Amino acid sequence: MTPTPIPRPAHRRHVEAAADDPFSRGVARGEQLRESVPAALEVYDRLFTLGGISPAQVRDDAERALDAVGRFRPAARAEMAGIAQGSGTDTWHIGCLNARTEILARSAAVPPGECTTIVRRRPAAAGPPRPTGIQTWDWHVELAARWHTLASRGGRHDVVGLTEDGILGKIGINSAGLALHFNILGHVDDRVGGIPVHVLAALVLEEAGSVAEAVELVRGAPLTSSGSFALFDESDAALLDLSPAGVFTVPPEHGIHVRTNHFLTPAPAAGEKTWLYQPDSTARRALVRSRLAEAPGPGHAAATDGPGAADELARYLVTGPGEAPVTCLPDPAAPFGRRWGSLATVALDPADRTARILDGTPADLPAHTWRVLTATAATSTG
């Protein structure tokens, strides 16, 4: 069966919220998502039901996640309560959206989507090469209209990026120049009870001013679920395996990090849910690594700097029939819960504090244009 294009709204929603008080910031976000949050909840309710997770269990999980957030960062819980008020929903509903990864970990019937990330050092006009990154965000196609771009201002750092409707954060960059790419991983001990990985991503971007600060924050968080953060600033980069077994640093290969959806360090890999992503994850990573190995090095004249770097990196993520599906399109014959695609492509550059967000797959360039957001001014183009 031929994959089908991903349905997309004519105008992707952009949410801006600026307030020193986190509850007020949440209200501002929620008011702009008043119609879309209930629609996102409806899709997740169907996914939870498909996974055999009862409404009572979903609510209990959501409230436990809210309690964990409240203990670790009361301000983040207040912002979630604000989103609930602004969108006209119950706070526990916002809790279940933010903990959707942990709740769905209960189910083997709803496998997660797949994402591919590259962080590579690019040449700079002066000084040593600097890290830049790109990723596909692959998720259930039924949620293709249920995400938005975001500019959040008023916390320790301003943040721009992409997240799902009702969820505090996902992928982005802050005004200190710290960037975060996000991939989901799976461990047999994943469960509700700690900080949801999406909430942790939002906290890192709001609070951390460098890779070192971000790693310290992550290591201090109570984690009971898995994921991967690719963290980088103007001079440093770190790739983390997050899991109930602990937080582990993945060494770079020739200055490059390539992340798909399996653990890259031994301790969490021993408890990996290999049936979720393999052999696909290994095949995608091998393909991207082989392409990068053949590419010009960071000091080569053909290695683009500046805005063109996003287009160049995106080319490594374009795949077609017979190749590992880095560019992911939904299979129309697949049942609900198993139709996923590349809902967005995101490129981050710490040097100019920009997030470039493509409402499409990497293959949609150059027909579609990037929406460019900067963490130091409330502007966007595209």
What's the 3-state SS for 123-157?
Answer: CCCCCCCEEEEEEEEEEEHHHCCCEEEEEEECCCC
In the chain, % of residues over pLDDT 70: 92
Q: How much is the pLDDT for 124? A: 66
How far is 187 from 245, CA to CA, in rounded Å? 9
- Higher confidence at residue 34 or residue 2? 34
- 379 band by pLDDT with thresholds 50, 70 and 90: very low
Threshold 0.85, pTM exceeds: yes
63 neighbors 353 (Cβ within 8 angstroms): no
Q: For 311-337, how does the pLDDT look when each residue is reduced to its tens digit (9 = 90+)? A: 999 999 999 989 999 999 988 888 998
Q: What is the mean pLDDT of residues 125-129?
A: 70
- 296 band by pLDDT with thresholds 50, 70 and 90: low
CA proximity to 282, closest of 257, 256, 263, 254: 263
Mean pLDDT check: name the lowest of 81-85, 153-157, 178-182, 303-307. Answer: 303-307
Q: For 355-377, how does the pLDDT look when each residue is reduced to its tens digit (9 = 90+)? A: 999 999 999 998 889 999 999 85
* Cα→Cα distances 379→48, 132, 170, Å: 37, 21, 20
341-376 per-residue burial string, b: 16 or more CB within 10 A, e: under 16: bbbbbbbbbbbebbbbbbbbbbbbbeeeebbbbbbe
Q: For helices 36-50 and 91-98, give the axis angle rounded to 10 degrees.
A: 60
Q: What is the mean pLDDT of residues 105-118?
A: 83
- Higher confidence at residue 304 or residue 195? 195
Q: For 334-357, how does the pLDDT look when each residue is reduced to its tens digit (9 = 90+)? A: 899 889 899 999 999 999 999 999
How far is 29 from 22, CA to CA, in rounded Å? 10
